[in-house]
Chains A and B, each alone.
Chain A
């Protein structure tokens, strides 16, 4: 009964490739997020979606494109991967919409390594 799940857990790929990370939540939450954790453990928001609508886009390169087919899923597609994209990517979800503060629950993370 995993609450927030991500696939794959590990992703190793070559520079220039295109890859996707999938996220699903079964909590019935309205808002989903992507965060990036760099090699120094620093966590930063990338995107958030509320009920399939993009709410936050934090100066992320255009090579990153989130897609939310429904409110339980938020996928992250990355084009033309670069060495600097190597990081752990976390998906999260929370109840409520814009302006409603709530707890965010995180998935297990996807460790992306670009060679």
Chain B
């Protein structure tokens, strides 16, 4: 069965620090997608990134970067030079080819960036 674990429930850092959010997943499928979503205090769910299981290249988008490692079943998210606006709950999620596209979410990590 598919499962996503975000072991860090809450993280609090001071602005400009780098921070990494961990995500570990379980799946028996060979074809799957991994996602990160951001939920700011306003409540909406904002799509950040999608990786497929055949593409282990790391990705960088501005201050955000993602490290996908199939060997450890991890898909970690790093924010460099964090800003107060990065404060949100971040969700890692998994979608399997055999799972009718349903997203299985991790428990979420609440990130607080203090000025």
Contact = CB atoms under 8 A, between A and B. Distances in A.
B partners with A: yes
Interface of A: 31, 33, 35, 40-45, 48, 55-56, 58, 88, 90, 92, 94, 96, 98-109, 111
Contacts of B52: 101
B108 A104 contact: no
Nearest to B53: A101
B73 interface: no
Interface residues of B, number: 29
Interface in B60-115: 89, 91, 93, 95-98, 100-105, 107-108, 110
- Per CB-CB distance, the 10 closest pairs between chain A and chain B, nearest first, are A106-B45, A43-B105, A45-B102, A101-B33, A108-B44, A41-B108, A103-B50, A55-B100, A56-B100, A109-B43
B31 interface: yes
A103 B45 CA distance: 12
Query: Max chain B CB contacts within 10 Å: which of A40, A45, A94, A101?
Result: A101
Contact of A101 (B31, B46, B89, B105): B31
A64 to B, nearest CB: 16
Given A41-B39, A43-B93, A103-B33, 16 more contacts: A41-B108, A42-B105, A42-B107, A42-B108, A43-B91, A43-B103, A92-B103, A98-B100, A101-B52, A101-B95, A101-B96, A101-B101, A103-B50, A104-B101, A106-B37, A106-B46
